[in-house]
Structure 1
């Protein structure tokens, strides 16, 4: 069996470092926030070329607090894409604002800037481009439109740790960038975690208070806040993993290039495209095929685990039927939801395993 992801292999490769970091937190008794979280914030901010980083308990919380710090609330609209994990939209709903969707580009699966301006209204308070699968959205035209209208841009970089656009790191372009450290992410905690990066001093100050019950100092509650703090153990583990992230990223990129070279002439699938002005970090290696479900079943029979990211776009999810969108509203997102299949990719994977996955893809007799 070739697993879709092998977190046990990753832990085995850094077990001594992780175990020592965890024991250090237990000895310090700094279980919530504390020195390890503060150090991780500094190190991750530097990694993203950002001035500030504020660690929280999930990527969803990072998005929620970024929206609140940008002044988003009931009656406002926030523009994002329907082809994403539901958390991108849930965070908007938490503020009382209304999500408004624009479709994606079929090549990158990210926000189509050509469709953005038409979605802007007098109520638009923020724009959330989603850097999906490890490749950033086309930020230059998005920022140009947003700046012209005076609308803040919040980057959903939950799948884009270390990704770049025109040599700029994910999270460093908009007013803030939001990352998730869910265990399966390129930089994953041993549990839940998230972070906001920003170059805006006031934005950082507000988010730092909001994550900790709105406190400016202990028991002085300036804002109505939340319990969104990061655990000390997760901060310590993430510090260890951050030291390895670039090596892991280059391993993912090597596997991505190997996959793409082997699949370049495929009649079964279309490989993802890494654009010349971007650094794709391959959180997901997503191929397109007309018979996605058939290919997934065939690969499972050959011992290859795969994933679906994402089979139902958010605008067609039952939970968001109240937004009033119908099938056909966003054809590129809906086509991607039908056609995209995620193949195994992780740093510990071998070149031989990549070749075995491709052989299994190519040997299937069905017509794609």
Structure 2
């Protein structure tokens, strides 16, 4: 059984993917070829943003966004401790200080009620994460940010395709940063990402920063990075965009079946009213996760943990002095979350097999 069935997806779109890649090979514009501009235009139109700037990865998208906002040493950026390492990593990489705020235990996203207390005179931005696909509470976050004249960067690595009160993830704040890593709801065949914004100045800066800070060839107005999306990856994403809405429906159908089958057995994901999710992960909570995961493996069911160690407990941030107990909701989630297979091609019998294995593993622990 596949955790994410990219093989089934490829078989569905093989002719389109192959034809689009062949066109790139024929025209030979492997860097910033016409497919890149086409993709940026279509993505911007989809989320309703004025600008889309493609990048070599979701991590580069975060970096480019931070650089465009002029954030650097001695600055602070508020974010969640319960996320993939890249979120805090890019803040630290430019010399700024990640300031963590605990999560809401239901959505796993940053708790807006704890946000204002973390703001200091050194705060330069707020970077919420739309974890597992569900957006953070951006109305509340943006309201707080506006009161303190702070930009907001949505780490939308996992949430492309999500909506929040009829608005699209990626277009909910100053800048939205998306990942196109293969396992994401919209993924390429390697690394890729993009930034969305409605600010002309930020768009221009990010366009330059992802291309060595050039505003024209060999004329560098800033110190940037080599963060361009490959043309072949843009071609793959254009093919996948053609079936994306159908895949979103497939993901939500699978999640709904999981919800029904696992009700009362484990804690299942809760998508709030007014929100939709692409279910980048379908993540449950269990006691004694290692034992449950071992039982699932023995039953031939792949699982994953997103994420076992919150950022404040990572060795590289040990000098912050924020040990165990600093962010209890993030720490509790790190011990309990378990992601099940999730993709648009899950069959009913596969969902039943997975759910039965979860029920058996949990019952085994209950009666141990």
- 2:273 is aligned, of 276, 280, 283, to 276
Counterpart for residue 53 of structure 1: 52
Q: CA deviation at 1:265?
A: 2.1
- Once the two structures are superposed, residues 200-250 of structure 1 have per-residue CA deviations (whole angstroms, 9 ceiling, x without a partner) of 110000000001111111111111111111111001111111111111111
| SS of residue matched to 1:133 | helix
Structure 1's consecutive aligned runs of 4 or more residues displaced over 4 angstroms after TM superposition are: none
**Structure-1 separation of matches of 2:267 and 2:284:** 6
- Once the two structures are superposed, residues 153-199 of structure 1 have per-residue CA deviations (whole angstroms, 9 ceiling, x without a partner) of 00000000111111110011111100011111111110110100111
Matched, 1:301 2:288: no
**Structure-1 separation of matches of 2:190 and 2:3:** 19
Matched, 1:190 2:184: no
**Structure-2 separation of matches of 1:90 and 1:110:** 18
**Structure-1 separation of matches of 2:359 and 2:287:** 14
Counterpart for residue 7 of structure 1: 6
Counterpart for residue 292 of structure 1: 289
**Structure-2 separation of matches of 1:167 and 1:94:** 34
Matched, 1:246 2:271: no
**Structure-1 separation of matches of 2:18 and 2:176:** 30
Q: CA deviation at 1:58?
A: 0.6
RMSD: 1.0
Matched, 1:18 2:17: yes
Counterpart for residue 90 of structure 1: 89
Q: CA deviation at 1:9?
A: 1.4
TM-score by length of 2: 0.98
The 5 Å alignment of 1:139-158 reads: 139-158=138-157
- Once the two structures are superposed, residues 310-339 of structure 1 have per-residue CA deviations (whole angstroms, 9 ceiling, x without a partner) of 011111011222332111100000000000
Q: CA deviation at 1:59?
A: 0.4
**Structure-2 separation of matches of 1:255 and 1:323:** 41
**Structure-1 separation of matches of 2:275 and 2:165:** 6
| SS of residue matched to 1:136 | coil
**Structure-2 separation of matches of 1:348 and 1:320:** 39
**Structure-1 separation of matches of 2:224 and 2:350:** 47
Unaligned runs of 5+ in 2: none
The 10-residue stretch of structure 1 (315-324 or 65-74) with the greater mean CA deviation from structure 2: 315-324
**Structure-2 separation of matches of 1:65 and 1:341:** 31
The 5 Å alignment of 1:197-216 reads: 197-216=196-215
- Once the two structures are superposed, residues 328-360 of structure 1 have per-residue CA deviations (whole angstroms, 9 ceiling, x without a partner) of 100000000000000001011112111111111
The 10-residue stretch of structure 1 (256-265 or 335-344) with the greater mean CA deviation from structure 2: 256-265
The 5 Å alignment of 1:1-368 reads: 2-266=1-265, 269-364=266-361, 365-367=364-366
| SS of residue matched to 2:77 | strand
| SS of residue matched to 1:110 | coil
| SS of residue matched to 1:188 | coil
The 10-residue stretch of structure 1 (279-288 or 321-330) with the greater mean CA deviation from structure 2: 321-330
**Structure-2 separation of matches of 1:322 and 1:212:** 34
**Structure-2 separation of matches of 1:159 and 1:350:** 23
Q: CA deviation at 1:3?
A: 2.1
**Structure-2 separation of matches of 1:28 and 1:93:** 40
| SS of residue matched to 2:242 | helix
**Structure-1 separation of matches of 2:36 and 2:108:** 33
**Structure-1 separation of matches of 2:309 and 2:360:** 28
TM-score by length of 1: 0.98
**Structure-2 separation of matches of 1:231 and 1:322:** 38
